[in-house]
Amino acid sequence: MSPNLPACPQCGLENTYPDGSNYLCPDCAFEWPQQAAEASEDSEAGDGSIRDANGTLLADGDAVLLIKDLKVKGSSTVIKKGTKIKSIRLVHGNGDHDVDCKTEQGSFMLKSVFLKKA
Protein backbone atom coordinates (compact mmCIF):
# COMPACT_ATOMS: atom_id res chain seq x y z
CA MET A 1 0.00 0.00 0.00
CA SER A 2 0.94 3.63 0.04
CA PRO A 3 3.78 4.47 2.44
CA ASN A 4 1.91 7.53 3.81
CA LEU A 5 -1.08 5.52 5.08
CA PRO A 6 -1.02 4.71 8.81
CA ALA A 7 -0.67 1.19 10.16
CA CYS A 8 -3.77 -0.35 11.71
CA PRO A 9 -4.04 0.58 15.42
CA GLN A 10 -5.85 -2.72 16.08
CA CYS A 11 -3.42 -5.27 14.62
CA GLY A 12 -0.42 -3.12 13.64
CA LEU A 13 -0.30 -4.31 10.03
CA GLU A 14 0.25 -1.81 7.23
CA ASN A 15 -2.35 -3.07 4.72
CA THR A 16 -4.72 -0.17 5.39
CA TYR A 17 -6.63 1.75 2.76
CA PRO A 18 -8.92 4.80 2.75
CA ASP A 19 -12.70 4.28 2.43
CA GLY A 20 -14.63 7.54 2.42
CA SER A 21 -13.73 9.39 5.60
CA ASN A 22 -12.35 6.26 7.31
CA TYR A 23 -9.36 3.95 7.07
CA LEU A 24 -9.97 0.19 6.83
CA CYS A 25 -7.73 -2.75 7.65
CA PRO A 26 -8.46 -5.79 5.45
CA ASP A 27 -6.54 -8.08 7.83
CA CYS A 28 -8.61 -7.55 11.00
CA ALA A 29 -11.56 -5.52 9.57
CA PHE A 30 -10.88 -2.63 11.98
CA GLU A 31 -12.21 0.75 10.85
CA TRP A 32 -11.24 4.16 12.24
CA PRO A 33 -11.74 7.79 11.20
CA GLN A 34 -9.06 9.48 9.14
CA GLN A 35 -9.17 12.51 11.46
CA ALA A 36 -8.06 10.27 14.35
CA ALA A 37 -5.09 9.04 12.34
CA GLU A 38 -4.19 12.58 11.35
CA ALA A 39 -4.50 13.69 14.97
CA SER A 40 -2.16 10.92 16.13
CA GLU A 41 0.32 11.89 13.43
CA ASP A 42 0.13 15.48 14.69
CA SER A 43 0.68 14.17 18.21
CA GLU A 44 3.81 12.37 17.07
CA ALA A 45 4.98 15.60 15.45
CA GLY A 46 5.85 16.90 18.90
CA ASP A 47 2.94 18.76 20.50
CA GLY A 48 3.28 16.44 23.52
CA SER A 49 -0.31 15.19 23.60
CA ILE A 50 -1.04 11.48 23.86
CA ARG A 51 -4.06 10.08 22.03
CA ASP A 52 -5.80 6.71 22.00
CA ALA A 53 -6.43 4.49 18.96
CA ASN A 54 -9.43 6.62 17.96
CA GLY A 55 -7.58 9.93 18.30
CA THR A 56 -9.20 10.94 21.59
CA LEU A 57 -6.93 12.97 23.85
CA LEU A 58 -5.87 11.04 26.97
CA ALA A 59 -5.15 12.57 30.38
CA ASP A 60 -3.78 11.36 33.70
CA GLY A 61 -6.44 9.48 35.66
CA ASP A 62 -8.50 8.41 32.61
CA ALA A 63 -10.01 4.94 32.35
CA VAL A 64 -9.23 3.05 29.14
CA LEU A 65 -10.04 -0.26 27.45
CA LEU A 66 -7.61 -2.50 25.57
CA ILE A 67 -8.51 -2.96 21.90
CA LYS A 68 -6.22 -5.97 21.39
CA ASP A 69 -4.87 -8.94 23.39
CA LEU A 70 -1.36 -7.99 24.51
CA LYS A 71 1.32 -10.55 25.35
CA VAL A 72 3.59 -9.45 28.16
CA LYS A 73 7.19 -9.56 27.02
CA GLY A 74 9.26 -12.10 28.93
CA SER A 75 6.32 -13.97 30.43
CA SER A 76 3.34 -16.13 29.46
CA THR A 77 0.87 -13.52 30.71
CA VAL A 78 -1.69 -12.06 28.28
CA ILE A 79 -3.73 -8.95 28.99
CA LYS A 80 -7.06 -9.59 27.27
CA LYS A 81 -8.87 -7.34 24.81
CA GLY A 82 -11.62 -5.40 26.58
CA THR A 83 -9.75 -5.18 29.89
CA LYS A 84 -10.66 -1.93 31.64
CA ILE A 85 -7.73 -0.07 33.12
CA LYS A 86 -8.47 2.73 35.59
CA SER A 87 -6.34 5.70 36.59
CA ILE A 88 -3.69 5.68 33.88
CA ARG A 89 -0.61 7.87 34.13
CA LEU A 90 0.86 9.42 30.98
CA VAL A 91 4.61 9.24 30.51
CA HIS A 92 6.26 11.62 28.06
CA GLY A 93 9.61 10.97 26.44
CA ASN A 94 10.03 7.36 27.58
CA GLY A 95 10.19 5.60 24.19
CA ASP A 96 6.99 4.52 22.47
CA HIS A 97 5.33 3.14 25.64
CA ASP A 98 3.53 6.25 26.83
CA VAL A 99 0.96 4.97 29.36
CA ASP A 100 1.82 3.66 32.83
CA CYS A 101 -0.92 1.60 34.50
CA LYS A 102 -1.76 -1.10 37.01
CA THR A 103 -3.85 -4.17 36.18
CA GLU A 104 -4.72 -7.34 38.05
CA GLN A 105 -1.60 -8.91 36.46
CA GLY A 106 0.70 -6.13 37.70
CA SER A 107 2.10 -2.76 36.61
CA PHE A 108 2.78 -2.19 32.92
CA MET A 109 3.88 0.37 30.38
CA LEU A 110 1.56 0.33 27.34
CA LYS A 111 1.37 2.01 23.96
CA SER A 112 -1.60 4.35 23.62
CA VAL A 113 -2.41 2.95 20.14
CA PHE A 114 -3.71 -0.22 21.84
CA LEU A 115 -6.10 1.70 24.10
CA LYS A 116 -9.41 3.51 23.75
CA LYS A 117 -10.85 5.92 26.26
CA ALA A 118 -13.67 4.36 28.32
The parent domain of residue 54 ranges over 17-117
Average model confidence (pLDDT) across the chain: 82
CATH number of the domain that 54 lies in?
2.30.30.40
89 lies in some domain:
yes
Considering the chain, what percentage of its residues have pLDDT values greater than 90? 29
Q: Count up the domains in the chain and report the number.
A: 1
Q: Check if the beta carbon of residue 69 is closer than 8 Å to that of residue 80.
A: yes
74 lies in some domain:
yes
Buried b (16+ CB within 10 A) or exposed e, 58-91: beeebebbbbbebeeeeeeeebeeebebeebebe
Give the pLDDT score at 5: 78
CA distance 32 to 41: 14
67 lies in some domain:
yes
For residue 83, name the pLDDT band (cuts at 50, 70, 90). very high
Pairing label, strands 22-24, 70-71: unpaired
62 lies in some domain:
yes
- Model pTM? 0.59
Query: How far from chain centre, in Å, is Cα 28?
Result: 15
Q: 20-68 pLDDT, tens per residue?
A: 888 888 888 888 777 655 555 554 545 678 888 888 899 999 999 999 9
